[in-house]
Structure 1
Amino acid sequence: MDYKWRASKSSQEIVETVASDDRYDWDYHDVEMLQRRLKQRHVQMIAIAGTIGTGLFLGSGNALQVAGPLGSLLAYGLVASVAYSSLCSVGEMTTWAPISGTFPHYAARWVDPALGFAVGTISIPMRMRPRITQLRPKPPCRTSVPVEINAAVILLTFWDKDANHAAIYTALIVLTVWAINIFGVRYFGESEFFFSSTKLLVIIIILCAGLVLDLGGGPDHERIGFKFWINPGAVNRAGLVQDIGADRFFAILKVVIQAAFSFQGMELVCIAASETENPRRNIAKAVRRVFYRIVVFYMLGILMVGMLVPFNNPALLSDTGTAAQSPFVIALHSARIKAFPHIVNAVIFISAISASSSQLFCSSRVLYGLSIRGQAPKFLSYTTKRGLPIASVLASGAFALLSFMNVSEGSETVFNWLVNITTTGGFIGWFSMNLTYSFFRRGMIAQGYDLKKNVYHNALQGMGWTIFFIFINGFAVFFKFNTSMFLTAYINIPIFAIMYFGYKIVYRTKIWKPLEMDFVTGIPTVEETELPPDPPVTFLEKVAAAVF
């Protein structure tokens, strides 16, 4: 093995690192054509977009109905901690190596090239962000680009119930999503800034209005408090077994799976690192602040809904896919604000558009990262003069055309089946992030690096929980077995195994040993990526610095 010696930037010691293997193009510094056009405010709002969406606005209602206020709060709290630990893992690796390809490349570079290929390949068509959990099909579906587009079309039925217009709306939304990504990363950043700012404003208004109602500020001046935690109760039953305690546990377990869908997509902020100005400083700041946003917006949102709406409220069982089923609309219905449902539906619609655009961005960048390292067709690495990976964007954007399948009743079943078979894809992504970080940490320590001196360091780990999520994803099917639901829940496991072992056998890859891991080649130094920060001077600049 050909070794080289290099001074460690973090420990100022001489460490032994392996040179780039000829079979793997780690040293792509001259090949990388993406440009850093995302600013700090873009990155911060992209991080918010990954944590607040239709999973909160609509999915929280289904969670409340299934497990009750305390059960849903416990489930979301557990999953939030696992999701944040996964983000911390990929966040530390990203601030060390802010390059294209993100976690699939890190898996290939520090674990096994076969793992990087399998994770990257499975994540391209399966990019998802669970947003609308009451849309067909059931159980709660995960979303990719075409599914988010269909969700947006369904949301429009809140205002226009003419089914003949579905094809027109689908075409317009597809063109909008394409335009946001084709015009360049700067336009993507500005659109996410607008979408996230709108969602942030509305959720703050909702939380404040909910608190006023709970304390007796509604038209009837009734102080609600926690009375719905007493009657009908704090935890609902799943209806799977006779034992009350076990049945309540299964109800919480059901919501754990749904909540896991709602938090997937937070890694978007790290995928954007290769196109971010001062990526190490900005990504580190965004990852740190995600925790507080989860607590303030998600957990307080779930708590507020559980205080204002009993889990046996019939409105929670509605299946419209619009604001009519939002627990926030149901909770604030007594306020008699006629415009409120329209405002919430508009925000959920914006969330669906944002999610569609984000998934297209994610899948195209992962595809580009695979291409420049020889794990995908070379033509997909083509970029414009402005640094846009146009070939990967167009290839990924082609999947959006699948959304037209839902316009036809005959194709809808096929479309829903294609959506459902990707159920565990996001969990596999989380698992790979945590697994890769454990290898990354072991290799850094073995080669003499001081992890605490990294730009961002957090040793949180959630690998065990991600494995747990993968295997309990379809646990309810074992109480009343259904072949289709079983395949929906677990088909990704053998698919992932086939891709991993197939690539490993064909290319004879190996798992990297700690001293063989390459932490240097093709990774820009801090001096190459970071500019001195401009300290805020005016009052507004100081406010912006605190918020963003």
Structure 2
Amino acid sequence: MAKNRIVTHDAGDKAEMGSYNDSGSSDSNFAEKIDITSLHDDADLSNSQTGEVGKGLQRNLQARHLAMISLGGTIGTGLFLASGSSIATGGPGYSQIAYTIVGSMVFCFMSSLGEMATYLPITGSINAYGTRFFDPALGFMLGWVYWFSWSITLAAELVASSVVISYWISTDQCPGWVWALVFIVVLTALNLTSVKAYGETEYWLSLIKVLAVIAFIIVGFIYIGGAIGTPIPDAPKPGREVFDISPFHGGFIALFSIFLNAGFSFQGAELVGIAAGETKNPRKNVPRAIRQVFWRILLFYILTILIIGMTIPYDDAELANPDGDIKSSPFTRVFVQAGISVGADIMNAVILVAILSAGNSGLYASSRALHTLSKEGNAPKFLGYVNRWGVPVFCVLATTLVGCLAFIVSLPQVGQGQAYNWLLALSSTTGFIAWLGIAFCHIRFRMAYKAQGRSLKDLPFMSRIYPFGPIYTIVICLIIIFGQGYAAFSPFNIKAFLSAYVTLPFIVILYFGNKFWAKTKILKLVDVDLDTGRSSIETSEDDEDDQEDKKRNWFHRILSAFKSIF
């Protein structure tokens, strides 16, 4: 979220109540330090009671919701807008390499997350796993930085939504803050209704994005083949003539810059782990989502970059899109060149959908991270309240409030938005911190699993690329975290340096500050609790999701068949 790249967690472009019955054994020392009610099992416990706070978080997300949440989480403004600037920076060749490397890293950390999330499906899993497998101070740090990141992202989406709407309705006719207010009210209402409302909304928003990308790929290949579009006089023909102009441009520095952009574009993939704790039959549906979605994401990104690189020359003046203007989005350009004049309006609408999807997912993810912090004693106790629909009401409202305050300081009338720029800089690297935390927790999980003499055959889902997967993820994340400010050193620019690295001191302060204040200790491998929260209930092959699949109408059946191709 900094400098010249698209600065949104893509959700589209980033602990439950005591009602959950623990069927496994619990470590008494662990339970004394941590509220084990934050660690629940994976049965459908929507009818469980939590005494004074009503019902707990409920497992109402279905398999199709989880698949679209994880798929739509990485398809956003990072793909629709930043892909053009990546090709302008290093050409289509380097862009393909960079997105492939980062895509492979996403597969690795999702495989790690999938193994833990199926073994122990916990809402707010990113911070819960840090607390559970290593040190409560790590969970404290991961939870707060993840919550802060998505809260600021919510504000970023509000800013972006007002800009997109101005394409149709100018700010002279209606100020941008009015649209931002409308969208935040709608998103908050959806997240206060029930987790199923969030899942259903995200399903359809993500579906629109996916269909738009599929349409783009089809139109792009037909245009490259010469079946549609009007050739531009004296311009290179779409296909190899465009691609071969300079597929590798700018050298290593350009490749590294695209590498950073690609990393930010994929953020949001971890949402599948956040939602696992509220998903029906997670031991079946989480692995299904991870197996299916990764290849589709990689397919979408690689084909998209290939089509843009073969239709628009890398040195096209508008491809870099420095102002984020929808008129110069590479998607829009390809549609227009192919003779589809309404391409600008179509893509503007799709980008608005991507923005709303990111805001919707950001509000959901951050509220669940905050709820987990509360149940672990790392946030005010009242934030642990859950209403009868399974919604952590005060967590949602707190996140909304912070997002609104950040949006207010982004207004030109309030300090020319300088405070907001610093907030964005603070949250820019937290997505990579979360990924790094997932990989590290996976290593600790496996080490504890082995130290306690357990068999890998008992894992519901096993990552077959361990230990390479988490190690590779850690290396790539560290390169991005420490390498993102490379431009600040030649010549040295103090503002760019602080913008790139201001997050790191806060991360250190949060971890060691909590460690000093709460006197936490790194858990011994033999003391890591691998049982509390595991379910002894075997899931049925003919569960509610399968029954719902059988009841789908002709539209859903055709759609399912179409999606299977991708």
Q: Aligning the two structures, in what range does the TM-score lie when normalised by the shorter sequence? A: 0.7 to 0.9
Q: Which residue is equivalent to 2:203?
A: 193
1:147 alignment partner, one of 131, 152, 156 = 156
The CA deviation at 1:448 is 2.3
Provide the secondary structure at the position in 2 that maps to 1:98: coil
Q: Which residue is equivalent to 1:418?
A: 423
Alignment RMSD? 2.4
Corresponding position: 1:170 with 2:170: no
Question: For residue 383 of structure 2, what is the amino acid of its counterpart?
Answer: L
Question: For residue 534 of structure 2, what is the amino acid of its counterpart?
Answer: I
Corresponding position: 1:266 with 2:269: yes
Deviations 1:24-83 (CA, angstroms, capped at 9, x unpaired): 122445868101111111111111111211111111011111111011111111111112
Contact 1:41 1:193 in 2 (8 A): yes
Alignment of 1:47-58 (within 5 A): 47-58=70-81
Corresponding position: 1:475 with 2:486: yes
Contact 2:26 2:532 in 1 (8 A): no
Alignment of 1:79-478 (within 5 A): 79-127=102-150, 144-163=153-172, 164-220=174-230, 224-231=238-245, 233-237=246-250, 248-401=251-404, 402-411=406-415, 412-458=417-463, 459=466, 460-461=469-470, 462-478=473-489
Sort the Cα spacing of 1:443 and 1:217 in 2 relative to 1 into closer, same or farther, 3 A: same
Q: Which residue is equivalent to 1:137?
A: none
Sort the Cα spacing of 1:373 and 1:507 in 2 relative to 1 into closer, same or farther, 3 A: same
Which range moves more in the overlay, 183-192 or 155-164?
A: 155-164
Q: Which residue is equivalent to 2:507?
A: 496
Write the distance in 1 (CA, Å) between the matches of 2:239 and 2:525: 55
Contact 1:372 1:378 in 2 (8 A): yes
Deviations 1:155-199 (CA, angstroms, capped at 9, x unpaired): 112112325521211111111221121122111111111101111
Deviations 1:323-350 (CA, angstroms, capped at 9, x unpaired): 2121121223222322111001100001
Contact 1:145 1:400 in 2 (8 A): yes
Corresponding position: 1:517 with 2:554: no
Which range moves more in the overlay, 454-463 or 115-124?
A: 454-463
Question: For residue 416 of structure 1, what is the amino acid of its counterpart?
Answer: N
Write the distance in 1 (CA, Å) between the matches of 2:168 and 2:558: 38
Contact 1:264 1:426 in 2 (8 A): yes
Deviations 1:405-446 (CA, angstroms, capped at 9, x unpaired): 333344322212211222211111111110010000111122
Write the distance in 2 (CA, Å) between the matches of 1:354 and 1:21: 37
Write the distance in 1 (CA, Å) between the matches of 2:423 and 2:67: 33
Deviations 1:341-381 (CA, angstroms, capped at 9, x unpaired): 10011000010011011101000000001111211111000
Write the distance in 2 (CA, Å) between the matches of 1:374 and 1:186: 27
The CA deviation at 1:18 is 7.0
Question: For residue 151 of structure 1, what is the amino acid of its counterpart?
Answer: A
The CA deviation at 1:504 is 1.1
Which range moves more in the overlay, 343-352 or 439-448?
A: 439-448
Contact 1:16 1:515 in 2 (8 A): no
Sort the Cα spacing of 1:320 and 1:156 in 2 relative to 1 into closer, same or farther, 3 A: farther
Contact 1:25 1:374 in 2 (8 A): yes
Contact 1:279 1:530 in 2 (8 A): no
Sort the Cα spacing of 1:82 and 1:526 in 2 relative to 1 into closer, same or farther, 3 A: farther
Question: What is the TM-score normalised by the length of structure 1?
Answer: 0.88
Write the distance in 2 (CA, Å) between the matches of 1:529 and 1:123: 34
The CA deviation at 1:212 is 0.6
Contact 1:18 1:515 in 2 (8 A): no
Sort the Cα spacing of 1:544 and 1:329 in 2 relative to 1 into closer, same or farther, 3 A: closer
Provide the secondary structure at the position in 1 that maps to 2:523: coil
Write the distance in 2 (CA, Å) between the matches of 1:182 and 1:378: 19
Provide the secondary structure at the position in 2 that maps to 1:20: helix
Write the distance in 2 (CA, Å) between the matches of 1:228 and 1:42: 39
Which range moves more in the overlay, 451-460 or 466-475?
A: 451-460
Write the distance in 2 (CA, Å) between the matches of 1:406 and 1:498: 26
Sort the Cα spacing of 1:230 and 1:534 in 2 relative to 1 into closer, same or farther, 3 A: closer
Write the distance in 2 (CA, Å) between the matches of 1:201 and 1:193: 12
Question: What is the TM-score normalised by the length of structure 2?
Answer: 0.85
Provide the secondary structure at the position in 2 that maps to 1:407: coil
Deviations 1:183-231 (CA, angstroms, capped at 9, x unpaired): 2211111111110111111111110000011111233468632222321
The CA deviation at 1:104 is 0.6
Write the distance in 2 (CA, Å) between the matches of 1:482 and 1:181: 42
Contact 1:19 1:518 in 2 (8 A): no
Question: For residue 206 of structure 2, what is the amino acid of its counterpart?
Answer: S
Write the distance in 1 (CA, Å) between the matches of 2:81 and 2:139: 34
**What 5-or-longer segments of structure 2 have no aligned partner?**
1-22, 41-48
Q: Which residue is equivalent to 1:68?
A: 91
Q: Which residue is equivalent to 2:519?
A: 508
